[in-house]
Amino acid sequence: MKRRNFLKNSTIGTAAMLSTPMLAAAAMPEGMKSKVPPTVKSRRPIVICTWDFHNASEKAWSVLKEGGSALDAVEQGVMVEESDADNQTVGLGGRPDRDGNVTLDACIMDRDGNCGAVLCLQNIVHPISVARKVMEATPHVMLAGKGAEQFAYEMGFKKTILLTEKSKQEWLEWKKTSLYKPIINIENHDTIGMLAIDRNGDIAGGCTTSGMAYKMAGRVGDSPIIGAGLFVDNEVGGATATGVGEEVVRTVGSFLIVELMRQGKSPQEACEEGVRRIIAKNGDKLDFQIGFIAINKEGETGGYCIQPGFTYRTYSEEGHVNNPSASHLK
Ligand code: SD4
């Protein structure tokens, strides 16, 4: 661990010294800064997350309201879903891969562009917290599989069997035909991506999932991939995704959306363009769901998806709202 800390400190030391928001903003060339008009009424603190996760967004909001950081808010918010055994697409109770193993993916990103991720992690209820440890206690960004699990135990996380009786019985039923057929808005419907802005105006994001049900062993989607399932730039905003991860990875969706906001698009326009890029690569074959949500520095939000049925939650001083997302197909 000593070596890890040394590596971490020595590699990011100079960057960290330059990474306070003011210094970073001053160092940033004009063309890289957000072009959000200063007239937009600021709506922060605020939290936004995929789907109707009212308990998770409520938890994140309580952290923000007490003056907590956006990073703590997103971690503690998504943890609510990770430990909910009834949510079969995140953490404990997640649907397994086709061999019956529950494998989890998660990533987290802070206001300074630091990030951490775990891929294909087994036996740990809170992959988001392991991802945060990867970010804060190692010189790395991603840890996968057995290495990630070993690291989690070293960090004090405890081993937990994640396959619940309900998910096990469904998997055994699936095995009778072994047909891999994701069902739009049902099978894939619970990955949580969350973005928050705290009282200081700083942005952070987190994303956590058990991935596609009955996936091939070792399959990893977009959710733990920085730039695909999640991206945050404290100068501009953040974006996160849900749905068929392969399609999001192919267009580096979340990074694209943040860059579009940097160029002046609203979060809504940027999400729509993100979805259009995916559509352009797929022609008429749109038998899958993708939903993007985004937030800009002022707390403006947006969401867009391919199929009807996607919603996202926002929680700010204006209230706690489940927003139906506009969709490409009607
Ligand atoms: C994945 N994007 O592993 C995830 C699945 C998902 O809601 O979002 N489900 O591809």
Ligand 1 centroid, distance to 222 Cα (angstroms): 7
- Mean pLDDT along residues 211-228: 95
Q: How confident is the model at residue 177 (pLDDT cuts 50, 70, 90)?
A: confident
Ligand 1 centroid, distance to 243 Cα (angstroms): 5
The pLDDT of residue 189 is 58
pLDDT at 227 over 80: yes
Average pLDDT over the chain reads: 88
In a domain, 2, yes or no: no
Q: What is the CATH number of the domain that holds 55?
A: 3.60.20.30
The pLDDT of residue 13 is 37
Which of 87, 119, 209 for a ligand 1 pocket mutation test, highest count of atoms within 8 Å of Cβ? 209
CB 7 within 8 A of CB 141: no
HSE toward the beta carbon, residue 199, CA cutoff 13 A? 9
The pLDDT of residue 284 is 80
The pLDDT of residue 187 is 52
**66-86 residue pLDDT tens:** 999 999 999 999 999 999 999
Which atom belonging to ligand 1 lies closest to the Cα atom of 246? 10
User: Domains in the chain: how many in total?
Assistant: 1
Strands (E), 35-138: 46-50, 104-109, 115-121
The pLDDT of residue 29 is 57
In a domain, 280, yes or no: yes
Q: Residue 202 sits in which domain range?
A: 46-327
In a domain, 3, yes or no: no
Q: Dihedral sign, CA of 316, 319, 325, 326?
A: negative
Distance (Å, whole) CA 276 – CA 187:
23
In a domain, 16, yes or no: no
- Mean pLDDT along residues 251-258: 98
The pLDDT of residue 33 is 52
- Mean pLDDT along residues 146-164: 98
In a domain, 34, yes or no: no
Distance (Å, whole) CA 49 – CA 216:
27
Q: How confident is the model at residue 31 (pLDDT cuts 50, 70, 90)?
A: low
**273-312 residue pLDDT tens:** 999 999 999 988 898 899 999 999 999 999 999 999 999 9
Annotated catalytic, 251?
no
In a domain, 20, yes or no: no
The pLDDT of residue 44 is 87
In a domain, 6, yes or no: no
